Amino acid sequence: MKSEERHQLQQNELADALGSGIQSITPYLRAIVIGVIGLIVIVFAYNFVSMRKQAHDATASLDFLLATSNEDPESFKRVSQDFADTMPGQWAQIAQADHNLGAGIESMFVDRDEATGFLEAATENYKSVLATAKDPLLKTRANLGLAKAYEAQGDLDQAIATYEIVADNTSSEALAEQAKERIRLLGTDDVRDFYTWFRENQPVSMASIAPGLPGLEDLPDGPTDGLPPAETPDLKDVEVSDAPEAEAKEEAAAAPKEEATEEPAKTE
């Protein structure tokens, strides 16, 4: 009986405590409800944004893969512009910069003005990636390309400084060794003299070269004395000798004639 009374007393105390608690928070109940609703909205918005970002990144990755398979510079440019805030978009800009760098280096031997345009575009592409990229590999890749662009333009001091950034900050031993080797070569007098000579000598325009083999008109004439005439003699002017045929007939007449002998018939 006492245990039942004790249990009843505990229930009454719990009810009183709950009642007091409810009364104490009643003035703040509206604020609490608004806070809970706000928290739910924030969680929902975060999930929605995360899902949209994942879809955005997935689309960027797919477009970058398609551009890579097509090897189309315009596709890389479109992906880099449409998804500039994503890693696939930044890698697409690296690919676009690499294309401009390669085209610029090739044009250095044909058209310096065209080469300058390509190399300046590549430089801007690499710098744009460096301004937004957070991934260490992306930064290293952009710095390496930027150093090559400076080198192609003949700015060797700036190229060395950028190669040093690659060598000091990359976690790839291969890239670090490549950068150090370029630093060593660009510091030699022979390489610097070559770049100076190459910058001062403009390539020969193909339009100024006459048709045919270049330099063919400068070759000396070959000797002609003692060479047989190139004309083929007319066959009717060639005397055909009958001597071999006559000699053959004489030899045939002088040869001894073999008489045929009959073998006697055998008798038993």
Q: Calculate what percentage of the chain has a pLDDT beyond 70.
A: 49
pLDDT the model gives residue 70: 58
Distance CA(74)–CA(194), nearest Å, equals 34
Q: Is 43 exposed, middle or buried (0-12, 13-18, 19+ CB in 10 A)?
A: exposed
pLDDT the model gives residue 83: 79
Domain presence at residue 66:
yes
Taking Cα atoms as reference points, which of 144, 151, 181, 192 lies closest to residue 166?
A: 144
- For residue 191, the tally of other CB atoms under 10 A from its CB is 15
Domain presence at residue 212:
no
Cα radius of gyration (the chain)? 47
Domain presence at residue 217:
no
- Per-residue pLDDT band for 15 (boundaries 50, 70, 90) equals low
The CA–CA distances, whole Å, from 57 to 52, 82, 87, 214 equal 9, 11, 8, 54
> If residue 118 lies in a helix (H) or strand (E), which one and from where to where?
helix 112-132
pLDDT the model gives residue 118: 96
Q: Identify each DSSP E strand in 152-223 by its residue range.
A: none
pLDDT the model gives residue 84: 73
Domain presence at residue 243:
no
- Please give the distance of CA 248 from its chain centroid, rounded to a whole number: 80
pLDDT the model gives residue 219: 47
Domain presence at residue 231:
no
Domain presence at residue 71:
yes
What's the domain count of the chain? 1
More confident residue, 49 or 90: 90
- Amino acid of residue 159: A
25-84 per-position pLDDT tens digit: 666 656 655 766 666 656 545 444 444 544 545 555 545 455 555 566 777 778 777 777
Lowest mean pLDDT among 75-84, 93-102, 255-264: 255-264
Instruction: Say how many Å lie between the first and final Cα of the chain, rounded.
Output: 166
193-214: average pLDDT: 71
| 121 in Cβ contact with 140 (< 8 Å) | no
pLDDT the model gives residue 56: 46
Domain presence at residue 221:
no
| 84 in Cβ contact with 53 (< 8 Å) | no
CATH number at residue 73: 1.25.40.10
- Amino acid of residue 85: D
134-148 per-position pLDDT tens digit: 999 999 999 999 999
- Please give the distance of CA 108 from its chain centroid, rounded to a whole number: 18
Q: Is 96 exposed, middle or buried (0-12, 13-18, 19+ CB in 10 A)?
A: buried
pLDDT the model gives residue 268: 43
Domain presence at residue 2:
no
Domain interval for residue 24: 8-202
The structure tokens 């003699």 sit at: 233
Distance CA(170)–CA(176), nearest Å, equals 6
